[in-house]
Structure 1
Amino acid sequence: MLSRRLFIAAAPLTLIGAPGLLRAQSVFRTFPFALGIASGDPSPDGFVIWTRLAPDPLELHGGMAMTPMPVKWEVASDDRFTTIVAGGEVIARPEMAHSVHVEVAGLQPNRPYWYRFTAGGERSFMGRARTLPMAGAAMDKLKFGVVGCQNYEDGYFGAYNYLAREELDFVFHYGDYIYEYRGSPTRANYFGGGLQVPVRQHAGQALYDIADYRQRYAQYKTDTDLQRAHAAHSFFPTFDDHEIENNWVAGISGGDDPAPAEAFELRRAAALQAWYEHMPVRKVNMPRFGGGQFHRTARFGNLAEIQLLDTRSYRSDQACDDGFKPLCEGVNDKTAQVLGAEQEAWLAKNLSGSQARWNCLGQQIMMMSLDRRRAANEDTRIANMDSWAAYEVPRQRMLSRMAGLGNVVVLTGDEHQNFVGDLVHRDKVVGTEIVATSISSGGDGADLRYGSEQMMKNNPELKFLNDQRGYVVCEVTPDAWLSHFQVVDKVSVRANTMKRRATAEIAHGVPGARMTGLSA
């Protein structure tokens, strides 16, 4: 972990270097903003700014005394803080791990602002946030990032260093911000079970209680590349499974040794509280008694409306006993749910009433129903039961709502690979799915995973497949949606190089993508 001065010296972005470090005597033994700062859930008149006081991040309570602590905050219209446009004081409480979530309002739309915090005689470095344009405002361009799946043990987060340098309006994080697995100097790898040595090791055991989850978030947030990305851009965070437990749904434990419902309920409540404590989200999204409402809408003028979905909290149990399996009778269960009745009705209303040029679904699990066979001699179709493919009835309902719109793009994560494919309903293309690869999960990867050529043959709707780490940048205009696949060569070392592997182009009114800019 870098000290404050080393962090500022090493930072590639001028926005990181905060002028005028405080000279007052600090009450902390070490820098209390070791987990960084962040902004999120922007609106036309503001955003959330976040930090957590943790002078000793991996220690119990982050090294904080169990007492409330005042934290001052400032928002400025310039990066020198010569014009302060908002400010105040908030209390960092031990019940919330000394995290603070300030919902800044009253700002001007569609412009950048800078923010910082002060506590106990110490000042944070500064971050930059950006408000959204007014709803319905005529906009001719949008540029944003899509990221997720960042397993600390699988590799370094160097892709975030490149993301921090991008000029973006915001970042959508599709989930798997942390992984819940225990730390171990060795383990079996994902494919084949051979020996794998983690690039770096998780602190602690598998996560079960609030202290476990808080420590794991603290470890991830000490990564300075992740800190730079948060300081540079406002995030829209969502969660997937590993923030709680692999392949959980609703009140049902996942994993190889699922817990009884009453035990899992306690674990889920602890995990969701820790997620809220470490994410720049609004109070309305604070979990209560293990649940909450996490789906919401982001509107970028009249150009795009993004529905941020929750595909875990209300979902039926996976069909066919989960995993990658041949299709079973449960795949066609008419009562199955992915979003739950209330969220699905909310989404249907938003899609039918949207006046935006583009409609987008920001979600977690693949919507395409792909044949996962990777060898030519496999006779039986294989599907991912932890995806929309195992919920065919709600999947078809979703596709039917896209039909006729001509402007729906689905953004997905979870797969640790890049995919581009058509979403097909009754033999007609009704939308395009862009699946963004992982930041680090899956390790270094390669251009193509074993069996990828066979998957392309088995699935004519697939346009692109790639198994490298990185992120996606979406550039949107009234007439076209471009998704650029930015990949790094390695995550097993800190220093890496990035390139644009390909671009998916979608024309407004013509569902489906064509690939351009393909590089070797």
Structure 2
Amino acid sequence: MSKLILPDMNRRLLLRGAAGGAVAALAAACRLPETGASSARGFRNDPFSLGVASGDPTPDGMVLWTRLAPNPLDPDGGMASEPVEVAWEIAEDEGFLNIVRSGVERALPGQGHSVHAEIHGLPAGRTYFYRFHAGDATSPTGRTATTPAFLSGVDRMRIAWVSCSHYEQGFFHAYRDLVEENADVVIHTGDYIYESSWGPQVRRHAVPEPYTLADYRMTHALYRLDPDLQAAAAHAPWLVTWDDHEVDNDYAGDVAEEPHVGLADFRERRLAAYQAYWENMPLRRRSMLERASGRMRVWGETVFGNLAAVYMTDGRQFRTPMACPTEEDRGGNIIARDCPERLDPERTYLGAGQERWLNSSFGRSGARWNLLVQPTLFSPFYSADPETGALTAWSDGWDGYPAARQRLIDTFAGRPESNPILLGGDTHCYWVTDVKQDYADPNSPTVASEFVTTAVTSHHTNHDAFAANVPDFPHIRHFDARERGYGLVELTGQRAEVTLRTVGEVKRRDGREKRDQARFVVEAGRAGPQRA
């Protein structure tokens, strides 16, 4: 099939779909047996204030998301503590003249009245439109798609990937721009929300730093109220993972960055954050938080015919705590590269389970391109201690886990036909690098290509200092921390074209101005990005 071209959604966000008799007819046709859930209640305010989204597409379906919140910044979203029936429908056309699936979900108070409708049985490689109904209210219309059939022919596709969207530090121009670029899939590499206030602020969080489930629900609601985020969420299916700020800065499993915070207390905070994340993202029920184990699965593989396989990973939940912490800080620190704990071969960034999964699965779907999505910069970048001259490492990134990084590099090196590309975020900078089999040897083979996007809004203050060190790392092809934006990947069977898209001044609502900072090409069968 050709590119998964999806029609323009700009005006559709204002639609509320069919009204009056059509809504009543749908509710009657989809009515469930009496369950105690409210299905005919009216809402004083729009219960679909947070918009709609879809995610985790497969050849026969996807998950459709919304969350009822007539008063979105209230702790309970303005909802009573009772279930509510929410009808959904999927059509082949935006006018909903040809509805192909419909059903009803129960939005439960224990799940923030969120809806995660898992759809199955649709034809592969098709575009669809969807919406929800609750009481007398109808949601905005979203657009989604099933993935092409396994190993079926796909001519091209366009992926947008984003990272680090701090609400207070700017407006989400990147989200609006990727809608105009008609991305087929949106990938978020993490820091989708921020728990803390810092840096320059042009708007404010609605609640102080979150610690409870209600706090995190309100923080997610504030972000979801943003019109540019709503447009991007409704535009195409999303694939998501988290980094640290969805919970707390620089955490690792149940270990907080602050030494005075006990494991049990931080675990409760983490579970609250994870629960709110599931409630507010287009994730399947298999990703629901398991409270007994304290685990939640966000990692997995999505395959797009014979063209691409995307591997989403989780770099926070299962990692070994940071090496060589100080008495004041267990989070990320600049540490000596010869720190014995850092060099321990048993240390893991992704956890043993994800490492086994990637070792057995990566590059084996038959797809031409294999994209590994992980939160941050993968390749080494470091400096020397200004007083001693000793080389240092940043303990929170892959440089704090060199043995784990090498194990992943060895996987890439063993499967050169997989055309591996790494996508990352976190650092609020653009990076383009050669992934080397041995970074200590500049002549070592390049085994993969790495692209790290800048932040949607989150600021960076050290461009000049970083840039001064870049020439010491010949594997780095491009670096820039001065602009905000996102990345676009255009895939064909012959090449991957990567655009580093900047979006102008995020501190102003009217400051959006798109520009391509740089463009790179990776040729199939030849690892390493080349400047276009």
Distance 2:411 2:424 in 1: 18
Distance 1:14 1:102 in 2: 21
Secondary structure of the structure 2 residue equivalent to 1:501: strand
Task: Give the drift of 1:433.
Answer: 0.9
* 1:103 counterpart residue number: 118
Task: Give the drift of 1:257.
Answer: 4.9
The equivalences for 1:476-487 within 5 A come to 476-487=491-502
Match of 1:469 among 462, 466, 484: 484
**Offset from partner CA, 1:13-64 (integer Å, 9 cap, x none):** 4465344344889711111111111011111111110000001111120111
Secondary structure of the structure 1 residue equivalent to 2:497: strand
Contact 2:315 2:349 survives alignment (8 Å):
yes
The equivalences for 1:178-197 within 5 A come to 178-181=193-196, 189=199, 196=200
Q: Which moved more, 1:147-156 or 1:315-324?
A: 315-324
Contact 2:13 2:231 survives alignment (8 Å):
no
Amino acid at match of 1:259: V
**Offset from partner CA, 1:228-282 (integer Å, 9 cap, x none):** 001111101111111111111122112x455211111111111100000000011
Match of 1:291 among 270, 288, 295: 295
Distance 2:81 2:53 in 1: 23
Identity of aligned residues (%): 36
Distance 1:451 1:349 in 2: 40
For this pair of structures, how many residues does the alignment match? 489
Cα distance change, pair 162–378 in 1 and its aligned pair in 2 (3 A): farther
Compute the TM-score of the two structures, normalised by the length of structure 1: 0.90
* 1:419 counterpart residue number: 431
Contact 2:49 2:69 survives alignment (8 Å):
yes
Cα distance change, pair 378–510 in 1 and its aligned pair in 2 (3 A): farther
Contact 1:372 1:384 survives alignment (8 Å):
no
Cα distance change, pair 27–330 in 1 and its aligned pair in 2 (3 A): same
* 1:166 counterpart residue number: 181
Quote the RMSD (CA, aligned, Å): 2.0
The equivalences for 1:50-449 within 5 A come to 50-181=65-196, 189=199, 196=200, 198-254=201-257, 256-257=258-259, 259-289=261-291, 290-321=294-325, 322-327=332-337, 328-351=339-362, 353-372=364-383, 379-406=389-416, 407-426=419-438, 427-442=444-459, 449=463
Task: Give the drift of 1:452.
Answer: 3.6
Secondary structure of the structure 2 residue equivalent to 1:132: coil
Contact 2:376 2:426 survives alignment (8 Å):
yes
Q: Which moved more, 1:13-22 or 1:488-497?
A: 13-22
Contact 2:75 2:217 survives alignment (8 Å):
no
**Offset from partner CA, 1:441-495 (integer Å, 9 cap, x none):** 117x7xx822243122121111111221111110111121111111111110111
Distance 1:77 1:372 in 2: 55
Distance 2:225 2:184 in 1: 24
Structure 1, unaligned runs of 5 or more: 1-10, 190-195
Q: Which moved more, 1:16-25 or 1:333-342?
A: 16-25
Amino acid at match of 2:15: G
* 2:27 counterpart residue number: none
Distance 1:49 1:378 in 2: 55
Distance 2:449 2:397 in 1: 16
**Offset from partner CA, 1:151-188 (integer Å, 9 cap, x none):** 11111112211112222221111111111115xxxx5x
Structure 2, unaligned runs of 5 or more: 1-8, 25-39, 326-331, 439-443
Contact 1:30 1:55 survives alignment (8 Å):
yes
Contact 1:405 1:509 survives alignment (8 Å):
no
Cα distance change, pair 303–388 in 1 and its aligned pair in 2 (3 A): same
Contact 2:453 2:487 survives alignment (8 Å):
yes
Task: Give the drift of 1:352.
Answer: 5.8
Contact 2:12 2:140 survives alignment (8 Å):
no
